Structure 1
Amino acid sequence: MRPGEDAATSTSPYRVRRGDPEVFEIGLVTEGRDCRFALVVDRVANGEQKSTTAGDFRVVPR
């Protein structure tokens, strides 16, 4: 999805219950330049839309 585009709305068949682990794997590669970013997670909890921002992350070239 590109900045400014709206995400498609769908019904997820998955549920996360209190106490269940939430694991996200994100693979990042950079060539030649440092990259700094924040991760924004939009979600619905108990019928209410919420957003959480985690970051200031940095990826450096190898």
Structure 2
Amino acid sequence: MDYVDLVVNGLQAASMVIAGASAVAALTPSKRDDEVVGKIRGTVDKVRNVADVLALNIFHAKRK
């Protein structure tokens, strides 16, 4: 169960980082921080895809 807790805690931390970065990007007018948030979201999407495959969420069970 230690690995499961580690993964869950990691995903929770990633969600908090994305939420904070999104708030900063929304409050500031620069495009640079928007690019950083986009890269973070892209990385998290890749991790989600790997998690879907590991959970056998393939074909019709995938997120849309």
Regarding TM over 0.5, the answer is: no
The normalised TM-score by structure 1 is 0.25
Higher helix proportion: 2
Higher strand proportion: 1
The normalised TM-score by structure 2 is 0.24
Q: Which has the larger radius of gyration?
A: 1
